[in-house]
Amino acid sequence: MQTKKIKRVSAAISETLEQADLHPVIKRVLSHRNINSPEEIDYALGKLTGFNQLMGIEPAVALVVNAIKKKHKILIVGDFDADGATSTAVCMRALKMLGHTQVSFLVPNRFDYGYGLSPEIVAVACENKPNLLITVDNGISSLQGVRAARDAGIDVLVTDHHLAGDELPDANAIVNPNQPGCPFPSKNLAGVGVIFYVMLAVRAALREAAYFTENLVEPNMGQLLDLVALGTVADVVPLDVNNRILVAQGLKRMLGGKACVGIQAILKIAGRDIQRIVSSDLGFAIGPRLNAAGRLEDMSLGIECLITDDANQAMAIAERLDQLNINRREIEQQMQQQAMQSLKHLEASMSQTELPYGMCLYNADWHQGVIGILASRIKEKFNRPVIVFADDNESIVKGSARSIKGLHIRDVLEHISSKHPGMIIKFGGHAMAAGLSLNKSDFKKFEKSFNAVVQQQLSDDALQGVIESDGELQGEDFSLLLAESIRNSGPWGQGFVEPVFDGEFEVIDWRVVGEKHLKMELQSADAEQPISAIAFNFPASLMQESDGYIHAAYRLDVNEFRNRKTVQLIVEYFEAI
C-alpha cells in the first residue's frame, strides 16, 4: 500500500461563523471548506439558482411545450450510468406529471452501440417515429447523431453537462451549463440536475399559458428531488452550494418516507435504513446497483425500477439489480487480481517515483463494463491517473480513465488528440473521469504519449498522495453528540468532503474481520476509554509492523447495532509510529 502524507489544513473562522450555534469542531470543519456564515449551509429550496440563467433554456422550453400541447411523441435518449438512469426517470416522470403520455425512452446498450446519441441509435429511434428527441446526460459531442435525427425530420433537444468540444451539435436547442458562453454559475450540475431545471422551466411556461386546470393540477416538481439527489451523488460531481441544496432536499424527501418505490426497494435490498440514510448511501448502496445493470446488461432495467409506482415490481427489479451487482463484484475482483499480477514486476523493479506517471493497462479478456471500476481501484492504490482498456471489437479498444487531483483527464486526452490527429477515435468526459476509443494497433503509441503528457503536467508532489485532515480531536470530542452533528451537517461528497481528522493512538486490540478488514480498539491519550475503529481493505501486515502505536487519519462515525448507537472511527489511513 502506498505511503501517504497526512496534511492538516487550516483556515481562520469568520466572526459570523464563530457566533453561530454550532459545535466548535463543526465551525472549524466548515471554515476549512470556505464557509463563512450559517446562511451558506442553509439548503432551503428557495436558494436554488434560477433556471433563467441557463443558456438555451427558452428555445428548449418552446420545443417541449409545443410537443406537450400538440401531443407529439417524445423520445428520451439516456445514458447507461446512474446519472443517465435518474435523468431519464426525471424526464419521464416530469412529462407525465405535466399530463403528457406520449413519451418513451431509449438507452444505448454499451456493448452494441457505445455511448451517446449515435447515428445507429437514431436509426433505432426512428422506428418509434418520435417528433421530439431529448438527450439526457449525453449529446453535447453527438454531432453525427444529432445531424442524423435532424435529417430524419426529428427535432432534437440536447441536455447534457459534459464538456463541449470545439464544435457543437446542430440541435434545435442545447441546455448545458458547460457549453461556451453559458452564464449559469453552477458548472457542476449532473445530467439529472440539468433536465430537472429544464422541467422546472417547462412547468413555469405552462403555468404562464394557463395550461393547468381543475383536471390537471400544477405538479410539485419537488417530488423528483429524490432522483435528482441520487444522480448527483452517484455521478460524483462536485457538491457546490447549488448541488448541496438539490441533494439535501432529496435526502429530506427520502428521510420523510417520500422516496419513489424503486429507491426504497434498492435501499432495503442493500440493508440500509431509509430513516437514517446520508449522501454516501446514495453513492455506495444505490449507485453501484443501478450501474451494475448498465455495466453487465441493460440500463433499461434500472430505469424501470425508478419509474414504476408498483412496489412489488420495484422490489423484483431491485433483487435483480442486487444480483447483477454481486456478479459485477466477482468480475471486478478477478480483473483486479490479473491487473495487480501484471503490475507486480513494476513495483518490484521500480520505486514509487519511478513508476509511470500515467498508467495504461489492457487485457483482451477484461469486461468492458467493469474497466472504469478497475481504473478507480488502481488509481487509489498507486495515486496515478489510470486508463484501463478492453476490446470493443477485433480492431478497436475502449478505455475508461480515472484521474487524481491536479490533472484534468479530458484536457489530457484533448491535448494528445490534437498532437496526434486520428490516434484517438473519440473521447469525452470530465476532469476526473473520461472514456475513449483507440485502434488496437495504436495502444503502445498512445500509452507512451499519455505518460509523457501526464509527466509534463503533474509534479512529483502530486503523486505523493495527500490526505487532508481537519486536525486533531480532543478526548471529549469522541462523542455521539459530535458524530451525529457531523452526520447531520452534510450533505458531504465530492468537493465538500466529509471531515477527516488525525491523531496518534495506542492499539489496545485488533483482529482481522471479513478476511481483509482490520477491527481495532484504539486509545487516545486524553480520552477516557478506548474507541472502536475499523480500517477497510488494510492488510494485517501493516498492523503487525506498528509496535502498538499508530498515526491514523479517520472519520468520526455512528455505529448502530441492535438499536444501540456508539462512536466508531472509520480509518482512512494509518502508519506505524
* pLDDT over threshold 70, residue 535: yes
CA 326 to each of CA 277, 333, 388, 394: distance values in angstroms, whole numbers, following the listed order: 22, 11, 21, 29
Q: Three-class SS string for 98-150?
A: CCCCCEEEECCCCCCCCCCCCHHHHHHHHCCCCCEEEEECCCCCCHHHHHHHH
Do 356 and 441 lie in a common domain?
Answer: yes
Residue 62 belongs to a domain: yes
CATH of the domain at 495: 2.40.50.460
Looking at residue 199, which CATH number applies to its domain? 3.90.1640.30
- So what's the pLDDT on residue 58? 98
Task: Tell me if 13 sits within 8 A of 217, measured CB to CB.
Answer: no
pLDDT confidence band for 431 (50 / 70 / 90): confident
Q: How many other CB atoms are found less than 10 A from the CB of residue 110?
A: 22
Same domain, 370 and 498: no
CA dihedral 139, 144, 149, 151 (to 10 degrees): 150
Residue-wise pLDDT tens digits, 57-81 = 999 999 999 999 999 999 999 998 9
Across the chain, mean pLDDT equals 93
Nearest alpha-carbon partner for 92 in 312, 314, 306, 321: 306
pLDDT band at 115 (very low <50, low <70, confident <90, very high): confident
Percent of the chain exceeding pLDDT 70 equals 97
Task: Identify the sign of the CA torsion 258, 237, 182, 425.
Answer: negative
Q: Are residues 61 and 185 in the same domain?
A: yes
Q: Is the pLDDT of residue 42 over 90?
A: yes
pLDDT for the residue 114: 66
Smallest Cα–Cα separation from 371: which of 361, 381, 380? 361
How confident is residue 462, by pLDDT bands cut at 50, 70 and 90?
confident
Residues 257 and 156 placed together within one structural domain of the fold: yes
pLDDT score at 390: 95
Q: How confident is the model at residue 449 (pLDDT cuts 50, 70, 90)?
A: very high
pLDDT at 127 (0 to 100): 92
pLDDT of residue 465: 83
169 and 296 inside one domain: yes
**Together in a domain, 308 and 437:** no
Predicted confidence at residue 349, as pLDDT, reads: 54
**Which pLDDT tens digit goes with each residue over 310-348?**
999 999 999 999 999 999 999 999 999 999 887 876 665
Domain final position from 293, 323, 353:
323
Residue 477 within a domain: yes
* Per-residue pLDDT at 17: 95
Whole-angstrom distance, CA of residue 142 vs CA of residue 371: 23
Q: Is residue 294 part of a domain?
A: yes
Which range of residues forms the domain containing residue 516? 5-9+467-576
405: CATH: 3.10.310.30
- Find the length of the chain: 577
pLDDT value for 109? 76
What digits encode the pLDDT tens for the residues 275-286?
999 999 999 999
C-alpha cell at 521: 480498539
pLDDT digits (tens, 9 = 90+) for 473-505: 999 999 999 999 999 999 999 999 999 999 999
Same domain, 301 and 402: no
Kindly state whether residues 379 and 526 are assigned to the same domain.
no
Write down the pLDDT at residue 76: 97
pLDDT tens-digit series, residues 248-291 = 999 999 999 999 999 999 999 999 999 999 999 999 999 999 99
- What pLDDT sits at residue 441? 96
Give the pLDDT confidence score for residue 111 in this predicted structure: 67
Same domain, 379 and 348: yes
**Confidence class of residue 514 from pLDDT cuts 50, 70 and 90?**
confident
Distance between CA 407 and CA 43 in Å, rounded? 31
Three-state SS for 486-516 is HHHCCCCECCECCCCEEEEEEEEEEEEECCC
Q: Based on the domain organization, do 454 and 481 belong to the same domain?
A: no
- Of 463, 480, 497, the one marking the end of a domain is 463
For the segment 125-141, what is each residue's pLDDT rounded down to a tens digit? Answer: 999 899 999 999 999 99
Residue 276 lies in a domain: yes
* Model pLDDT, residue 461: 76
pTM of the model as a whole: 0.91
Q: In this structure, are residues 336 and 367 in contact, taking their beta carbons and an 8 Å threshold?
A: no
pLDDT of residue 295: 87
pLDDT at 429: 80
Last residue of a domain, one of 463, 487, 515: 463
Residues 269 and 306 in one domain: yes
Are 63 and 195 found together in one domain?
A: yes
Task: Report which residue type is found at 559.
Answer: N
Number of domains in the chain: 3
Closest CA to 59 of 142, 188, 155, 168: 155
